[in-house]
Amino acid sequence: MDYSSFENLPIVLLVIDEKYRVVYANKKAKELYGMEFYPYVAKIMKQQGLENYQTVYVHTTKEGRENYIYVIASYNKENNTYIEIHIDLSQVLKAFEYVKLSPEIFLTSGPMVFFFLEDAVGWSVKLVSPNVKDLTGYSVEEFVERKLKYTDLIHKEDLDKVVKELKECTEGPLSEQTHEDYRIITKDGKVKWVLDHTVCLKDDKGKVIGYYKYVVDITEKHEKEELFRSLASASPVGIFLRQGKRLIYANEALSEITGYSVEELLSLEDLLSLIHPKDRDKVKKVMIKRDMGKKGVKRYEVRIKRKDGKVVWVQISSETVHYKSAPAGVGVVMDITDRKLTENKLKKLALYDRLTGVYNRYALEEFLKKEVAKARRYKMPLSLLFIDVDNFKQINDTYGHQAGDRVLKQLARLFKNNIRKTDIMGRWGGEEFLLIAHSEPLVVAEKLRRIVEETVFDGKIKITVSIGITTYREGDTIDTILRKADSALYKAKSEGKNRVFYL
């Protein structure tokens, strides 16, 4: 089919085939949308078996401006295509002129109601489309016979706002106004939310002679938003909606977690300021995926800096949504500080010796697995030092077990303060310690032996240590290197104690 006659129409026209591919888009369509077309209306029509369909959606331009677009679609059986006309409400009067239809005839059904109002007190209705009854419950006759005026429809709490906005349109440079959403009261007393685009008509001298209004029922949208806000407000966990660097929505629970009021949270220029500096890269990566529109729930744990300076741990679960036609991130935040503290306590119990505070045997074995693997793969130097307190039983027998415990604690601190940061030290068991060193094991061992010999423990006790050393060699396993270090310690003991033996 030749679509060239539609090319220069001043309204958007799209032709979509049965596979939802856009086979034709006129010049106006490309100006409005670029090359990104979303034929979701055709999908709805095909799924529901409809030949005609009308709806309104919000299109956000590259400049961030929101345009309300009225879509009129029909199915062409002859060539199995869907034809969509997209009308920018700001240009709707011109659009009707181009399609050679008067508004009151065209809008006999569908979500949009047309009004023509007089510039008089209460805005008397001179003309209204038949589908007004679906929106308001009132008939056309009740309006045009002056039984009620347009202002009679508007909720009293919203009337001043609507009047003020229309006055700005009437007295300002613009001849049209898309009102902020407001409420109307139907004939049976129900409350409905509407979107209202008004065009101010003036004569040659600039005097207002009336108004065209295009009103759409958006109650469902508001009810969903209200339901979300009610659930979010009652939620014991933090809930947020983010777009760009700012929060669009935050509930009271999130306020309690962060220590900031909801107003303060929404006014933050960059929400990353809430995140601990060491965790910001993790959050940035998730934000980038959300801003790209990538779907998929992501759960992660980060630290947050509260307003009072305290640091708390939180778990964030987020997903990508579309808000005002652009990707956004919605998620929940749970305070897991208590859980983290418990985990850290359990971790400490699992990895650290309760008496001395240094690594325990389990932790040393885990470290040793990794160090042997690195030595084997990367040929990195690795040495083991077994350190045993000489004649420790005599200390317990002479001074008591509590004194013996104090000696072990002081000895552990002494070792810890005199080894390299890259070396790993812990209590192997009883009075025996293990040091995993990466260079100069003989120098380190002799230094530790000498310092112990020169130190007075628990104010009055002198002790010595014997140290057995071995180095990783090709083919060694964890068992073989431990056995060699143990044999070296045995040699140091058998040759007189208070000495170092290398095997």
Map residue 42 onto helix, strand or coil.
helix
Contacts of 181 (CB under 8 A, 6+ apart): 193, 194, 195, 218, 222
Considering the candidates 301, 371, 431, 432, report the single residue annotated as catalytic. Answer: 431
DSSP 106-175: H-SSSSEEEEEEESSTT--EEEE-TTHHHHHS--HHHHHTTSS-HHHHB-HHHHHHHHHHHHHHHHSS-S
The dihedral over CA atoms of 203, 208, 211, 212, expressed in degrees to the nearest 10, equals: 20
- For CA atoms 41, 42, 48, 52, the dihedral sign is positive
DSSP summary character for residue 462: E
DSSP state of 437: E
Indicate the residue type of 411: L
**CA 390 to CA 407: how far, in whole Å?**
12
Q: Which residues lie below 8 Å from residue 388, measured CB to CB, with a gap of 6+?
A: 431, 432, 433, 465, 466, 467, 489, 493
Residue type, position 224, single letter: K
Strands 432-437 and 424-429: antiparallel
Type of residue found at 484: K
263 is catalytic: no
Contact 452, 464 (CB under 8 A): yes
Q: Contact, 347 vs 359, CB < 8 A?
A: no
User: What residues act catalytically?
Assistant: 431
